Amino acid sequence: MSNASAVTILSASHLQLVRQHKTVLNDISLNLKTGQIITLIGPNGCGKSTLIKVLLGLEKPDAGTVTRRAGLRIGYMPQRLSLDQRMPLTVTGFLQLARGAGDEQIRYWLNRLSIQPLAQQSVHDLSGGEWQRVLLARALLIRPDLLVLDEPVQGVDVQGQLELYSLIPQLRDELGCAVLMVSHDLHLVMAATDEVICLNGHICCSGHPDTVSLDPAYIQLFGARLQQGKQQHPIAHYTHHHDHQHCADGHIEHRTPGKEIP
């Protein structure tokens, strides 16, 4: 969906971060343009969340730079947010704590995400999926230029995942924002993704997801639901093309061409 007039709103170059003698981020560079959707994938502990924190400015890299467009509004939906039970708070009260949130915007986004009935409920009584939508609403309140979602479909059922993956490109079009998303699934990503980045300390590979309606595993998993529905599948398959292996001790072995590992 990227077009020629798209402007870079956030760029990172040669990020390096070491924590407790472990290289968490190694020479990572990326560019985000207006309207672009980037999905970050990778195994657990590969540095996805750390990279997000560095890009958001919550953590400082040891080396490398992050450049954000001046005045960039960022909406961030954290992976999880647990509130202390002893703090009484309604959904509206929670959303009002977002800086610059007006009551009108709150009403608009509650409606847009179909969670209007929850407005006066206690945040402690919500289901996982409902709470996720409230967190998404909070990220959208400031009409962000960049929407950052950390594993938004974690703990959401298949139906919810499909809904969210169709919703995100719509939101992107409505707001004209860029989207940076972390996904827990290594192979199935949101179809609207422009670029998939596979992370494991460094960037292992990156590219565009395939359109996959024909993958049998995929049909088996989602087929019944897809046939009822829309013209476009919200989920796509990503084929990795790695030229190296990560060994247990952390060092990287490059594969020589022609000597394919069986």
Partner 1 sequence: MNLFDYWWLMPLMAGILLALVAGPLGSFVVWRRMAFFGDTLAHGALLGITFGVLTDIHLTLALVLGSLLLALLLLPLQNRSRLSSDTLLGIVSHSTLAIGLVTLSLAQGIRVDLMGYLFGDLLAVERMDVVWILLAAILIAALLFWQWRALLAITVSQELAAIDGHPVQRLNLMLILLLALLVALAMKVVGILLVSALLIIPPAAARSLARTPEQMVLLASTTGVISVLLGLWASFHWDTPAGPSVVVAATTLFALSLVLQSLRDHRRRA
The binding site for partner 1 (CB under 8 A) comprises 56-58, 74, 76, 78, 81, 83-84, 86-90, 93-94, 96-100, 122, 138
CA atoms within 13 A on the CB side of 27: 3
Kindly give, in sequence order, each residue whose CB lies less than 8 Å from that of residue 192, ignoring residues fewer than 6 positions away. 1, 37, 165, 168, 169, 172, 234
Smallest separation, CB 81 to partner 1 (Å): 6
Between 63 and 83, CB nearer to partner 1: 83
Smallest separation, CB 122 to partner 1 (Å): 7
Smallest separation, CB 201 to partner 1 (Å): 23
Give the type of residue at 106: I
Smallest separation, CB 134 to partner 1 (Å): 12
| Other beta carbons within 10 Å of 160 | 16
Between 97 and 224, CB nearer to partner 1: 97
In whole angstroms, how large is the CA radius of gyration of the chain?
Answer: 19
Q: Are 189 and 35 in contact (CB under 8 A)?
A: no
